[in-house]
Every structure is written in C-alpha cells, then in structure tokens.
Amino acid sequence: MAKNRNNKIVLAVLFFGPLLFYLFLLTGTNNFAKLPHLTSNVKDVNNLSSEHEVSLENKISILCFFGEDLLLKKTNALNLNEKIYKHFYGFKDFQFVIVLPKGSEEKAYQLKKELGVTTNVDKWFFVFGTDEQILEMFESLGTNFELDTNFYSPNAFIIDREMNLRGRNDDEDETDGFLYGYNAETVAPIHQKMVDDLKVVIAEYRLSLKKNKKEELLHSQ
C-alpha cells in the first residue's frame, strides 16, 4: 500500500512539477520583466524606397543606420546577425530594418549577399532615403545620439509593434541611466544587454496575445 502511494506521489511530482515551474516563469515575466518605453510614435520607414514593402508597424524591429560606408561597417552587421538575428529569426513578427542613403543600393545588395552565405536573410530589409528623410527618421527616436556625416550610427535600436523605442532607464553604465540603443561595433553590449531586452519585448507580446485570445474566448461564450 505504502509503496503504491509513494509511486503515485512520484508520478504526480513528475507530471505537475514542470507545469508549475512553467507557470512560475510565466508569472514572473508578467510581473517584473518590463522594458521601458523611451520614445513613442517613432517615425515609420514606409515612405522610404525599398524593393519590399517595409513598415515598423505590427513588427518587432531592430533598426540600424549603417551609413554610406556600410561595407566598412560589416562588423556591426556580423555581430547583430550572429547574436540577435540568428537567435530570434524564428519569431514570426521579427525583422531587421537598415536605413541607408539613396545611392547605397548596390552596397546593400553586396552586404546582404555576404550575410546570406551562412544565414537565411529574408528578414533583413534595407530602405533608402534622402538626407532629410534619414535625419527626420533618426531624430524621431528622441535619443541622445547623433548621426555622423555619413549618416551612420553604431547603435542598434529595438522598436516594438506599436512603434515605440524600447530600452533601459536604469542602466548602470549610462550617466543618466538611459540606454536608448546598443553599440553594435562590439559584441559585449549586444550579448550582455540587447539579447535579454529583446527577449522581454517578445515575451510581453506573447503574453499580450494569450490575454487577448482568452478575452475573446470569454466574450464569445
């Protein structure tokens, strides 16, 4: 009798243990894993030219400004491709958007071709604008950064589905605590901060989807 009871307890633990652990993680994410909205109403890229229809709306985007000399900034692309793109590529509403000056189309094609040797690059999108359009786009981010004379920034930005810039307001490495973007010239900021922050944004989105589906189900009953 006692042996049978012990067997049932072991089976119950094995069955319910992983479920309870999953629920604990889910609850924890919902309660404290929030990434601040640093800027609202980031300007969309849908008015810039591209071979595809590209928009920040309803997508979780990594937004970059590689400038006119983008082939000299391949390290940025390789770091982001390895640490971010490959890791999150399978998420349906995820994309990379690279803003470039008009006239950089051939260089963009070459960079995408090189990245495509080891990666499926169908979620890498390049958009092209005038000097004024690029400056307007960059300034809409509301950061403390500036583009250089080639319209380049070393920083990669996380834009959520509602076109908000996401980042940190309590970062220990920033003087004022605000981390608007992640320096892609080195691996450390991407690996140590950007990966975790992007996970939070995606987790928030998934939890929101589940909540909406639950509410739809309740209203339909």
Q: Are 183 and 173 in contact (CB under 8 A)?
A: no
Note the pLDDT of residue 169: 95
Query: Does position 105 have pLDDT exceeding 80, yes or no?
Result: yes
Sign of the CA dihedral 69, 53, 131, 136?
negative
Cα–Cα dist 126/121, whole Å: 11
Which positions ≥6 away from 177 have C-beta within 8 Å? 168, 169, 170, 171
For 54-68, the pLDDT digits (tens) are 999 999 999 999 999
Question: Tell me: the pLDDT tens digits for 21-48?
Answer: 444 444 444 334 589 999 999 999 999 9
Domains, the chain, in order of start with CATH, read 37-213 (3.40.30.10)
Mapped onto helix, strand or coil, the DSSP state of residue 71 is helix
pLDDT of residue 153: 98
pTM of the model: 0.82
Interatomic CA distance for residues 138 and 144, integer angstroms: 11
SS3 221: coil
Token couple for 60: 């979780």
Q: Round to whole Å and give the CA distance between 147 and 156.
A: 12
**Nearest residue to 110 via CA among 157, 66, 154:** 66
CA distance 47 to 127: 9
